[in-house]
Amino acid sequence: MNMKQMALAACVIAAGSLATSCGSGQKEHDNPFLQPNYGTVYDIPPFDKISYDDYMPAIKQGIAERKAEIDAIVNNPAEPDFDNTILAMEKSGRTLSKVMLVFSALNETDNCPEFDAIDAEATPLTSRASDEIMMNPGLFARVKSVYDRRDSLGLAPDQRKAVEDTYNRFVRSGALLSDADKEALMEVNGRLADLYMQFGRNLLAATNEFEIVVDDEKRLAGLPESSIAQAADAAKERGKEGKWVFTLHAPSRLPLLQYADDRDLRQQMYEGYINLASSGQYDNGPVIDKIVHARAEKAKLLGYPDYAHYMTANVMAKTPENAENLLMQIWTPAIKRVDREVAEMQALADREGAGITIAPHDYYYYAEKVRRDKYALDEDEVRAYFSVDNVRKGIFTMAKKLYGISFVELPDAPRYHPEVKVYDVRDAENNHLAVFMTDYFPRPSKRQGAWMSEMQISFIDDNGPVQRPIVYNVGNFTRPAGDTPALLTLDEVETMFHEFGHGLHGMLSKARLRSQSGTNVDRDMVELPSQIHEHWALEPELLKDYAFHYKTGEVIPDDLVAKLQAASTHNQGFVTTELAGAALLDLKWGQLNPAADETVNAVDFEARVAEELNMPSQVQFRYRSPYFRHIFGSDGYASGYYTYLYAEVLDTDGFELFAEKGIFDPETAASFKRNILEAGGSVDPMEAYVTFRGHQPSVDALLRNRGLIDTDMSINHKGGK
């Protein structure tokens, strides 16, 4: 079975999820998206009753309904106020939101040709429909009227912020442009939407196309048994039984780079990864060239010097220069640390008589060797205590101790894939708070990475019901192999805590408005809840509650915990350099204004940026541009990848308060819950942070956390992005 066949098979298997009537003209089928509710527990989408044929009719009807609702707002003869304009807009488009949240979720977790076809038809329709709303002069006139009178309308703080945010969103979307420029901007936005879709498709296809087939068992020396078993299972799935197959998915790629004694094998994997989607049929280079040109056009139309200034103007950083200044405070000590790390690796390689000079494809391997040598810490030994079920227990225990919430599995609830687990989240008074879903293992139909999103967004209607959210976490963690359960690496453990932190942001939201609910905050702020919760992952007090050996049931021993603590800043020069380097590369892309007839070569551009930064030759950007989905797969983190480090300034400073008061201190946890998690985007993010912490943050806590400056403090746990 080739990779395309595997992706198709995965999509079909997942669809225990989707009705099998795709294209069959099923009689008397009621489109679930067009019903008042789904009729399921907590209104979870009934995946087994949804057919591919349901999406486009629901999307088109949703667009039409929203247009009618917007027209009603525009034509309302009453003087514009918060309720009849801003709140009415908040309440519009619920059918469209309903279907698009489900479609987006499944398209990224169980992509298949049917979804590609829907995406190709839906994307230009939804993009243009959104532009038409944001450029509607009558609607903007009403919004501006409310905005201009906001001081005299007696608005609550969250209402005032919603008015200001709505006005700014219209202006940033082109509401002040001439009709001709509005039309030009809509054309650019449509072009970008298509390019983002193409970038993602190329990346998924290129990822699934790559494989390394090993037919000599001797080449597997050094690899953990779990990785070997996983590679054997992958080979069997591909009709290559008796061999071993390694892919670019992190649970396959990273153990090979970290443990394989065969240097050529490591180099083959490393080069396969850094050249992903960089040539051939799925080359994203030409797509990036077009994206950069389109973004420059968009920035110019909206009156900004470049795209980076456009993207940072509306968030906490305000300018790309401010973001770069923060990054350079981290970059300089990070690359100095890399020099020390490489020297340690080279010394170890020389002692072993390896006869090599440390190269980029050696970094993971020799970093692990140095860790074993310095700290007597073997990550394969550590993984035995971190089965996926144990770590899930860990995140739930953390949430219970901090915020009083509990998770009750719903084994009979609808799910979009057999591996998905569904939970009823209940507050301290045992009231329903949210639905939480987990989907943790890779498959060919799922894009790489880990993320959190929602299938239903919370809001509080003053004149009606309270809608609670449906939140999901997705990962690509190490699968079970043979009789061995899924044993997670430390990076995967911290990633699970990270995405669960995003989940808590959604689940605990008490914001009244959908636009301010949960993770609907400035990009600079959105990573604070995710990253601060990473700190609990390796805290001894919590480890005793969840880290048990998968064979013996033994709790993780104190001496192993001590080794984890001692080694917690190991290799942080490399980790910080590749992360900060990617963030700086992203900002440089955003500041590029190519001439219309100029072709931008991604490889050449990256090389120039690396040279300007004096980037260590042994370290690559965390993501090369052709697979940097954060910034080229959508607008989401474009000129905003720095926010992971910006938020780390906040999370490390914030966690120092927990370390001072006690990591489960009720008063500190209650303050974080109230001011950050429950508030969402209803308050200014820096005001919310200062209210919680008591002062403005500085970069010093981050540098201490990563061990990049000398300190006596021991708050130093870090996860990856």
Question: Measured between alpha carbons, how far is 278 from 295 in angstroms, rounded to an integer?
Answer: 21
Which SS3 state, helix, strand or coil, does residue 325 take? Answer: helix
Q: Out of 108, 324, 368, 499, pick the active-site residue.
A: 499
Question: Measured between alpha carbons, how far is 699 from 636 in angstroms, rounded to an integer?
Answer: 24
Handedness of CA 193, 194, 197, 203 (dihedral sign): negative
Question: Measured between alpha carbons, how far is 278 from 272 in angstroms, rounded to an integer?
Answer: 10
List beta partners, residue 434.
425
Handedness of CA 519, 520, 521, 523 (dihedral sign): positive
Torsion angle, CA of 359/363/365/368, rounded to 10 degrees? 150
Nearest to 715 by CA among 701, 698, 696: 701
201-217 burial, b at 16+ Cβ within 10 Å, e below that, comes to bbbbbbbbbbbbebeee
Helices 490-507 and 250-259: angle between axes, nearest 10 degrees: 150
List beta partners, residue 404.
none
Torsion angle, CA of 348/351/353/356, rounded to 10 degrees? 40
Handedness of CA 398, 404, 408, 409 (dihedral sign): negative
DSSP 457-524: --EE-TTSPEEPPEEEEE--PPPPBTTB--B--HHHHHHHHHHHHHHHHHHT---SSGGGSTT-S-HH
Helix/strand/coil (H, E, C) string of 653-665?
HHHHHHHHHCCCC
Query: Is 499 labeled as catalytic in the residue annotation?
Result: yes
Question: Measured between alpha carbons, how far is 458 from 437 in angstroms, rounded to an integer?
Answer: 16
CB 200 within 8 A of CB 629: yes
Q: Left if phi > 0, otherwise alpha if psi is -120 to 50, otherwise beta: which for 467? A: beta
CB 602 within 8 A of CB 288: yes
DSSP 95-124: HHHHHHHHHHHHHHHS--HHHHHHHHHHHH
Handedness of CA 112, 118, 124, 129 (dihedral sign): negative
CA–CA distance from 306 to each of 294, 321, 427 (Å)? 11, 12, 46
Question: Measured between alpha carbons, how far is 129 from 557 in angstroms, rounded to an integer?
Answer: 58
DSSP 157-198: HHHHHHHHHHHHHHHHTTTTS-HHHHHHHHHHHHHHHHHHHH
- Identity (one letter) of the amino acid at 238? R
Active site residues: 499
